[in-house]
Every structure is written in C-alpha cells, then in structure tokens.
Amino acid sequence: MNDCAPTFLLIDIGNSRVKWGLGRQGRIEPGQPFATQHISSDAKLSRHWGKASPPAQVVVANVAGPDIAIHLKTWIGQRWGLTPQFVHSEAQGFGVSNAYFNPEKLGVDRWVALIAARHACNGPVCVADCGTAITVDALGFAGAHLGGVIAPGLAMMRRSLVSGTSDLPFADGEFHDCLARETISAIASGTRQALAGLIERSVRQTSIDLGSEPRLLLTGGDAASIASVLLIPYELRPELVLEGLLVIAGSVQLN
C-alpha cells in the first residue's frame, strides 16, 4: 500500500464481537476481532488501538446500542481528535435502494453488507450474514433491495433447545451426519441444516422472483460452518461489512 494514501479505520460492532480493519486504496487489512464488551473499557480499547497511527477517518456500523457508540466516540475523540462517522440505514445510497417501509429500521450491518454486495456484484445477489442472528437479504437488478429474513443463529438456536426442554444438552461442535444417531450430533446437524435450508430457500425464491440465479455471499462468524452443508454455490466474504464501510468511506469501488 502507498504510505501517502489515507487510511480509514473501519469498525463493525456486532452483538457479540467487534470486527475491524484498516482500509486504504480499496484494500482492507483485517485486525484481530474482540468481544463487543471491550468497547466499554478505555483500557481494552487502548490495548487494541492505542498504538495505531491516527487514521484519516473512522467509519462505524454499530448494532450494539447507543451506550457503546457514546463510549467509542469519546475514546476516539480523546485519542485522535476525530469524530467517527456512524453509518445509518437510508432509503437509498451507494447504488442500493432499501426495500423497508421504514428504511432506518433495516439493521445497519445489513445495509452496509448490501452496499458491499452491490459494489462486488453486477447482477442479483443474496447476502447471508451468519452471526448471533442469521439474516438473508436479496438484491435484484440495479441494486434494488427485495427484502430479507431473520432467524436465530446457530448458538442461539441451540440454546433455545436447552432452555425450552428438560433433557437436551447444549450441542456445540462439528457437524457429523445429516441423520445422526445420538442427541448431541442430532442437535448439531438439525440446527446447521435448518439454517442452510433457510439460505437455500431464500436463494431459490429470489431466483424465481427475478428469473435469474443470484450469487450467494456468506459472511459472519458461523458462515464457514453453515457453508459446509450448503448444496448450492456460494462465496465466503468474511469482511463483507468492512468492505461496505470502505465504500462508504469514499475509497475506490470493490470488485
């Protein structure tokens, strides 16, 4: 990278963890993710970013609430004298038209991921973000958002089985067989297959609605795990939200 090019600190604050990276000249250097609760600690933030050179701008997608945003804004202002840009979902922007009746109600992480998808794909695309919750959103031609679905993520789905039943254990581990022969494997299989089925059904419906097969982009912490049982083509884009933040920051378009 050219040392003279402006550097953007890109921050994706999720419910469970923070993903971040440095963007410059259309490329991203991913940083080490950390727990979202660390945002509330000056000492923890100083440990993660205290030795970094001041960026030209800080661009943030935050779904973890206003208290987190206030603390991060204060720390960045004191550390670098910058005011971070907190992205908000809009009716239209960066080549994407938001389908929500109340555009600001679309989760900002979904909005930013759609912006990245629009700049990465020329035609229809489905974006599956596999995190604490799983979301699948579809973009049609010319960046028209068709809407999306939301479901519990892997860990949340498995915890619901434990809390809602008297004798089912929490199952966390590798997928074994589709039709398992013991309970832990059955839970691991059932939850992963359920989410894979949700993604496949969403892609199929998008294809029917548009008359064209969409590309499928997977992101989020559980993307690789769910991808392992998908029966349709996909592309893993672990930094998709950061890619969208880089587009918003004003860097070159991503391909």
Rounded distance between C-alpha atoms, residue 8 and residue 22, angstroms: 6
Q: Which CATH architecture has domain 8-86?
A: 2-Layer Sandwich (3.30)
Q: Which CATH superfamily is domain 123-247 in?
A: ATPase, nucleotide binding domain (3.30.420.40)
Catalytic entry in 12, 109, 129, 137: 109
Query: In sequence order, what DSSP letters do the residues of 225-247 get, joined into one string?
Result: HHHTT-SS--EE-TTHHHHHHHH
Looking at every residue in the chain, the average pLDDT score rounds to 90
129 is catalytic: no
d(CA 128, CA 50): 33
Task: Express each pLDDT in 178-195 by its tens digit.
Answer: 787 777 778 888 889 999
The whole-number pLDDT of residue 51 equals 86
Note the pLDDT tens digit of each residue in 14-39.
Answer: 988 999 999 988 899 999 999 999 99
Where do the structural domains in the chain lie, given as residue ranges? 8-86, 123-247
**Which tops the pLDDT comparison, 3 or 242?**
242
